[in-house]
Amino acid sequence: MKREPRLLGAATLALSLLLALVTALSTPDTAQAGQTSLRAADPSVLRVGGTYVSVQSTGDGIAVRQASSTAALATAPARRVWSDTRGLGEVWAPEIVRDGGRYYVYFSAGRGSAHRMYVISSANPDSGYTAATRLALPDDKWAIDGTLFTFGGQRWFVWSGWAGDTNVEQNLYIARMSSPTTPTGPRHVISQPRESWERVVGNPYINEAPEAVKDPNGQLHIVYSANGSWSDQYCLADLRLRAGGDPTYVWDWYKSNGCLFGSHRATMMTGWDPTLYVDGPGHHSFVLLDGDIATSPPAGPTFPLMFHAVPKGTPYAWENRYWYTGSFCWWGGTTYSRANVPGPVTDTGWSLKFFE
């Protein structure tokens, strides 16, 4: 008899917890989308052991944060590692890379059409960086959002830039590197914003923020941001290098037939859904061990992702962008198709699913 009230209390508690869970799952909340407290853009994050390292621009400089999780980066102390004492101009989208046990931060600096890629390096993630050196990218044109990776035993550098000296469209280019600071040979275009779904917002048309990752089949992917970052049409799309393909040959790359991570159904690839909690997700970072694409995740599990976006219900503007934590996984048997171009018109392989 004495146990009945306790049993009733336990049942009531269980019912209350169940109702709370149902309410939480059914109530939209931007916190579910992994919104951090950091109002900023262009996250770049890698993991070294159990430490997550991020880099960001701070007006006229660059700062590094370190934390025990991606979510904790936003509240971790920001340590300035470089200042623009030479008056280079606007400092955009630094990217942190680890190569040979040394840290390299690539960033764009300049004013207007003078934006070029620069690099600093250090043996430590948050101190001791060298002075900035300008990368001698081939053709010496406007360049932003550059990053380094190794694929097929070769270092590569991929970035967003102009074909000429006018701001018509931003293409993705790739070039070989003989060292983390030395490009070699010509640049090769691998993507141009020519598909209807990546031309919703123009002046200029945009392909930018490329990030390399390797799928479970060992094929190279370059996931990039399309449409203008000043619009909630900003989204992520994918370039997949065909099996055995040449990274410098544009027709060996197959493009997803729509956005894979975006907030507008009309521009999404068939089978991919728009976001629920954010608008204009883009300029992401695959959070890889040592930032090495050789540590890209296998098929099955989800893996950490960071990106910037604007919370739904908030006016879309650059100043309203936040860093978000998210995740991604591989999605097999996905066909990318194209028309009126050299080579096979379809390619089937791994694609990616992104989660808020």
What does pTM read for this prediction?
0.91
Banded pLDDT at 340 (limits 50, 70, 90):
confident
Distance CA 202, CA 141 (A): 20
35 inside domain: no
31 inside domain: no
Q: What is the pLDDT of residue 7?
A: 28
Distance CA 330, CA 350 (A): 6
| Coil, strand or helix at 93 | strand
pLDDT in tens, 41-78: 999 999 999 999 999 999 899 999 999 999 999 999 99
pLDDT in tens, 5-32: 322 233 333 333 333 332 332 233 334 4
15 inside domain: no
Asked whether the predicted pLDDT for residue 238 surpasses 60, the reply is yes
Q: What is the pLDDT of residue 31?
A: 40
- Mean pLDDT lowest among 23-27, 160-164, 254-258: 23-27
Q: What is the pLDDT of residue 22?
A: 29
Question: Position 185: which residue type?
Answer: G
11 inside domain: no
2 inside domain: no
Which whole number is the average pLDDT over 211-220? 98
Q: What CATH number does the domain containing 341 carry? A: 2.115.10.20
22 inside domain: no
Asked whether the predicted pLDDT for residue 4 surpasses 90, the reply is no
6 inside domain: no
Which own/partner pairs from 226-229 qualify as long-range (CB within 8 Å, at least 24 positions apart)? Answer: 226/193, 226/197, 226/198, 226/259, 227/198, 227/199, 227/200, 227/201, 227/267, 228/201, 228/202, 228/203, 228/204, 229/41, 229/280, 229/282, 229/283, 229/318
Banded pLDDT at 343 (limits 50, 70, 90):
confident
Split into its structural domains, the chain has a count of 1
Distance CA 42, CA 155 (A): 23
pLDDT in tens, 271-306: 999 999 999 999 999 999 999 999 999 999 999 999
Which whole number is the average pLDDT over 233-258? 98
- Mean pLDDT lowest among 168-172, 286-290, 337-341: 337-341
233 inside domain: yes
Of 117, 242, 222, the closest CA to residue 172 belongs to 222
Q: What is the pLDDT of residue 282?
A: 98
Range of the domain at 123: 40-355
Question: Position 84: which residue type?
Answer: D
